A and B are shown apart, each in its own frame.
Chain A
Amino acid sequence: MTDALVLLVVVPIVASLLPVLLGGRFDRLGWYVAAAMGVVHLALSATVAALVIDTGRISYAVGGFEPPFGIELVADGISAPLLVLVSLSTLGVLAYARRAGPHSNAFYSELSLLTAGISGVFATADVFNLYVFLEITGLATYALVACGRSPRAALASLKYLFVGTIGASLYLLGVGYLYITTGTLNMADLAVAIDSVGYTSPAVLASFGLIVTGLLVKVALFPLHTWQPGAYAESPDTVSAYISALVSTAAAYALIRLIFGVYTTGFLDAVPLVTDVLVALASVSIVVGAALAVMQSDLKRMLAYSSVSQFGLIIAAIGIANETALVGAVVHLVGHAVMKGGLFLAVGVFTVAFGVRNVDDFAGLAGRAPVVSAAFAVLAFSMVGIPPAVGFVGKWNIVVGAVEAGRWSVAVVVVVSTLLTLAYFGRVIERMYFTAPATLGDTEGAAVSTDGGDNVTEASVGMRSVVVLAAVGTVVLGFVGSELINVIQPALEAYF
């Protein structure tokens, strides 16, 4: 049943073709095709996850060409939970999009294509194949961001396209160096080949620098984040939620896979500068991202900068480079996706129902939309890292890992960032719950069309329940955190 692994990529690609082919005849076909794809995807990823839990790492040789010569797809304890996450995010976003839109067939084609790209990034075990899937992910995301109606969305998309393409090209250049030096592209095979070439060989060092920089652009770490706030803030809420949940996550996963699966800890020991630089960059990103988030008045932009800060945490865990921190990083990848996706959808519900988007407009919202406000508060507190939600599990493991490795500075930075996170979310929650609305009735019912939305004036039950489900999900994930860690840990043990 390892066939499920390749179908995870093929099914969304086929689903992205149908609306193109039949879109002229059936107007609303896109949603149904995408929804069917989401259900099948969930069944497939659940199959893969069950196999991984039973038997450990599974591998699939595309075309029957045995690795290292053919393309190999792999699922293990790290990628299996992330693949399930992709399915669930897709279904959640589709449930939201049913009413909120965008409704065009092209949108659902692009969404399916993005699902295919991200599933591919999580599944592949071949560095060039990874580039192809990163590009599919990127291209689909540029198009999705441009779905927004405002000219600013087009500009944000163009900026993302330029920066993203540079990032992907740097990655490809790095892969080129690796291929010239070792003659192989398979990850497991590369790990052996790089060892025999020598970790301090200039070509290996150059490839590492190029690959890591390229992927950090996609992750949106602080000095390389410039594409990200615009892309998250200007795209339709549906798209913001989906890409904030999965796109940077895929790049961060690729980074973990490459640093520990290809370059291995042997490289990190031979070139200790690498981990120091990663930790330093990540620490700056954590603090600056959070500080920038505090300064934003547009809520979507605030959430975007919050992601810069949260991904700083994950990169810091990679720099710490021990098992505990990496467990924290993978848990936080999953947790961040659920929390940030849920938060963007919650903002979308508020925007549709009350036409609010700025932090100041949120005054007294809790009285008007108690359920979604409560869900928003749960998600926000989880992001701060308050137990028992999943945000705590991830951050806690990263801090413990930092202390184990003797990197006290990271532990301090994480604590400071927690306070800053509390500052920017506290500001919003204080307004929602404890500030009387200044001009009640002024904005009530005056639904402002969200960018790309079709003048939806009322948030549907589906839209609200997805937000609530995300909030419940973060708490449940927090409680089953140790089970999740039990799945992730064996796969990470192989790296140390």
Chain B
Amino acid sequence: MSSVDRPVRAYVESTIIMTTARIVSPFVFTFGLFVMFHGAESAGGGFQGGAIVASSIIVVAFAFGIEPTRQWLDDSIFRLLIAGGAAAFALIGLGAMALGGAFLEYAVYNISHGVKYGIELVELGIGATVAGVIVSLFMNLAAGLTNDADGGDET
């Protein structure tokens, strides 16, 4: 989509929205972590939790403007989240193999409640990847709308 004659609405600060986002987003973030940690024994898990965590960051981006948020959270943080999360999953799985078990066989780690902690770590890893992907998708889409001139679709 090249430069269509559409008036680009400037970002307008709103005290009400900023205050609300500032108060709400930490709770949303915490709730996301809560959902992730519940992957082991009840409804919940990395995908849902990751989406909730990402939404808390997107709320901040809406309230405080997308560019300031981009400066606050650098792109490399999300790269690290995406790769690190999935890598944690793979490493936990491969670690079990190194100890002589099957892939993802948590029991061989020989920690008390090892299975539960193992699943929770894997869920955290998935959550980090999901949150990272959603926020970077959001940032890329937002960049496509605002900086059309310098090819916003560059990944």
Contacts and interface: CB of A to CB of B under 8 A. Distances in A.
Given A3-B103, A64-B101, A64-B107, A10 B93 contact: yes
Nearest to A2: B102
A20 B82 contact: yes
A62 B103 contact: yes
B102 A60 contact: yes
A345 to B, nearest CB: 26
Interface of B is mostly: helix
B80 to A, nearest CB: 7
Nearest to B107: A64
Interface of A: 3, 6-7, 10, 13-14, 17-18, 20-21, 23-24, 60-64, 106
A171 to B, nearest CB: 19
Contacts of A24: 76, 79
Contacts of B97: 3, 6
B33 interface: no
Contacts of A7: 103
Interface of B: 76, 79-80, 82-84, 86-87, 90, 93-94, 96-97, 101-108, 155
Nearest to B79: A20
Contact of A21 (B84, B103, B155): B84
A234 B138 CA distance: 26
Contacts of B76: 24
19 contacts: A3-B102, A3-B103, A6-B102, A7-B103, A14-B90, A17-B90, A21-B80, A21-B83, A21-B84, A24-B76, A24-B79, A60-B102, A61-B102, A62-B103, A62-B104, A63-B105, A64-B102, A64-B107, A106-B155
| Most chain A CB atoms below 10 A, which of B84, B102, B103 | B103
B105 A14 contact: no
B116 to A, nearest CB: 13
B117 to A, nearest CB: 14
Given A6-B102, A14-B90, 13 more contacts: A3-B102, A6-B103, A17-B82, A17-B90, A20-B79, A21-B79, A21-B84, A21-B87, A60-B102, A62-B104, A63-B96, A63-B106, A64-B102
B105 to A, nearest CB: 4
B101 A10 contact: no
A17 B107 contact: no
B126 to A, nearest CB: 12
Nearest to B75: A24
A22 to B, nearest CB: 9
A14 B95 CA distance: 14
Nearest to B82: A20
A17 B83 contact: yes
Nearest to B104: A63
A64 B80 CA distance: 30
A61 B93 CA distance: 13
B103 A10 contact: yes
Contacts of B104: 62-63
Nearest to B1: A151
Max chain B CB contacts within 10 Å: which of A7, A14, A17?
Answer: A17
Given A3-B97, A10-B94, A13-B90, A64 B79 contact: no
